[in-house]
Every structure is written in structure tokens, then in C-alpha cells.
Amino acid sequence: MDGYFYAVLIVGLLSTIICVVAGVMKKAPNDVTILSVAAVELVLLVYLVGSIIRVALGEKIAGEPWEFWGYIITALILPVGAVYWSILERTRWSNFVMGAVGITAMVMAARMNQIWY
């Protein structure tokens, strides 16, 4: 386990809690929920840059490299899609969609960590 995984775990969990609570409270997406998903995107971008640097410095991915890079690129697309959805559909259900991003990012980060080590 590395710091990137724990960063995604913490930010993803916080984002999920924020978005789900807003959805349960029947609130439309707002700056707080959208910024929480943006934080997930930011931590995933840091994970990407850190992974590129680690590979450039000679560290090897234990599993299939294409699988690792596929996971990280897919994980980076999800927050963008969820925020786009929340802009198009300004209902409380968009908060639940954005809440799913945090959980999905955590699961994908766990899998990326398995592939790396």
C-alpha cells in the first residue's frame, strides 16, 4: 500500500459522504458537492503524475502495465462525467451519481495498488 492509495481512499470517502448526505437531504448539486468530486479528480491526477514519475525513474509495475494505465485513465474519466451529469440534471439524484464516483475511485485505486505491487 502506498500514499496514493490512501489519498484516494480518504478523498473518495469524504466526497461520497458529502454527496450522499446532500442527496438524502434532497438538495440539488452545489459548489460543495461538485468541488468534492473535483478533489477526487485532483487526487487521481496526482496519482497519475506520481505513477509516471515512478515508472520514469525505473520502478516496475508488478502486474500488466496496460491494465494499470487503463484503470487510472478510466478513473480519471469518471469524475468528469459525473460533474457533467450534475450540470445537465440539477436534481438530488445527481448527488448520488457523484457519490458513486468516490466509491468507484476507491475500488479502482485498490485494484491499481494490487497491480502495481
Provide DSSP, 36-84.
HHHHHHHHHHHHHHHHHHHHHTTPPPSS-HHHHHHHHHHHHHHHHHHHH
- Residue pLDDT, tens place only, 2-37: 899 999 999 999 999 999 999 999 999 999 999 999
Mean pLDDT for the stretch of residues 75-97: 94
Report the pLDDT value the prediction gives residue 113, as an integer from 0 to 100.
Answer: 93
